[in-house]
Amino acid sequence: MRFQVICVVVDVWGKVFVGHTSELADYPPGRSFVQAALDAVRKAQGWPVDMTYFAAREGNPAEYCEQQVRECDVYVGLIGMRYGSLVPGRDDEVSYTELEFWTATDTGIPRLVFLLDEDAVPPGRADKNKAKIQAFRDRLRKAGIIVKTVRSSDGVDGAVYQALIEIKEDLHRKRALRDPATSAKRAGAPLTALPMVGDVGPRLGQVRRQLSDVFKYLWPVDQPEAGPTEPDRPEHVTFKERGLGRALTLFLLATLIVSLGVAFVSVRASHHEDAFGIFLTFLALGLLIISLLLFPAWVVFDREYLIFDEYGIQLKQRWGPKFTVRWSEIRTVRVWRGMLLLTLRSVNPHPIPGLHSRKKPPCYDSWVGGVTFCRLDRFTGASTSVVEDVLRVYAGKAWVDRRKA
């Protein structure tokens, strides 16, 4: 009779101690804060250690708790609005939760602390006297670590997962430097002594990869979001053409004032039935008609806009032609003597039709060896420094710093 043995290899990179007070283990209903943290540890391929599931045993609970923290690779603390049970026999009146944190600090393992927002915890699950818990939260903020505030179970899941992934990569790099076999492999040296017998090692690695693919297909795991992050870059930055709208506004205002003045004079002169008064009357009516005709044009005035977004650069008019060049079509972009200069890749069709026959920007300039896309002094707020900051955000490697060029 032959037996076939299947080995399932789970790549667990380290033990993660999850410290918390008891009220967070069953709140909120459905998926508690503690359960969300444990799920995040498992998704990050870590081994969660939670004092809630430890069996009863003889001995000092505080010493056993400290021992478990020291045996872990990472400490994760979920701090709500309860200070927790005090450790008996200590004069400093410290809780088990705070004891776990300071043990992790003394051990030197990475500490990840997540403070629950005060609004996320109902009054029934908070201490009536909040002096101790507030003092503890203040000590955590001043402990020389980055403390993150979370509001929901999903926020705990995403924040813990993201933090553990970063620590996991750091631990792998440190272990690779300490491991001579891995270091030799990175350096290109032959590996002569590996802890394998025959070809068992490669076969186990192949089995592990196949089983991992099967598990991912049967039970796909959605990667959670990493919680609140910093604001992303704006969708677009727009610069409007300078001065034309103001000049047209002043012209219309002057036209209306002159029309009213002429009308007043013509009314005074018409009382004497003077021909000059009749002339002024028609002149006033003509100016008023011109003002009324120009007003719609002023409302929909064809002003130019210079737009930068994640797709490229646009130079467009409200009712006129539009020129768009995508970042993938741009080889280099820079600001030179108040002009936006581009060098384009060999693309077909060309992003700017009739480029070589145009006399005004955007046009080809053989002297600079590129495309003069526009003059920046035509647009309000488009100074050299501001446009370079925009290019630094959107253009990426295509942007050429004038100070380094």
Confidence (pLDDT) at 144: 87
Q: ∠ CA 13-19-20 to the nearest 5 degrees?
A: 145
Which range is least confidently modeled, 111-120, 167-176, 285-294, 370-379? 285-294
304-398 has the same fold as 15-216: no
Class of the domain covering 304-398: mainly beta
Residue 241 vs residue 246, higher pLDDT: 241
Structure confidence at residue 216 as a pLDDT band (50, 70, 90): low
> What are the E-state strand segments in 241-336?
304-309, 312-317, 322-326, 330-336
**DSSP code at position 338:** T
Superfamily designation of domain 15-216:
Toll/interleukin-1 receptor homology (TIR) domain (3.40.50.10140)
Q: Return the closest-CA partner of residue 74 out of 166, 156, 147.
A: 166
Average pLDDT of 227-256? Answer: 64
Q: To which residue do tokens 């043995």 refer?
A: 5
Average pLDDT of 361-370? Answer: 73
Supply the pTM of this predicted model: 0.45
Average pLDDT of 23-28? Answer: 90
pLDDT digits (tens, 9 = 90+) for 36-63: 999 999 999 899 999 876 656 667 888 8
CA distance 392 to 397: 9
Q: What contacts 127, CB < 8 A, 6 or more positions away?
A: 81, 82, 83, 133
Report residue 5 as tokens. 């043995």
Confidence (pLDDT) at 312: 87
- The ranges assigned to domains in the chain are 15-216, 240-299, 304-398
Max avg pLDDT among 234-248, 252-266, 335-349: 335-349
pLDDT digits (tens, 9 = 90+) for 310-339: 888 888 776 566 788 888 888 888 888 888
CA distance 61 to 117: 29
Long-range CB contacts (< 8 A, 24+ apart) of 185-190?
none
Average pLDDT of 307-312? Answer: 86
Please provide the DSSP assignment of 133-201 as one string. Answer: HHHHHHHHHTSSS-EEEE-SHHHHHHHHHHHHHHHHHHHHHHHHHH-HHHHHHHHT------S--TTHH
Measured in degrees and rounded to the nearest 5, phi and psi for residue 167 equal -65, -40
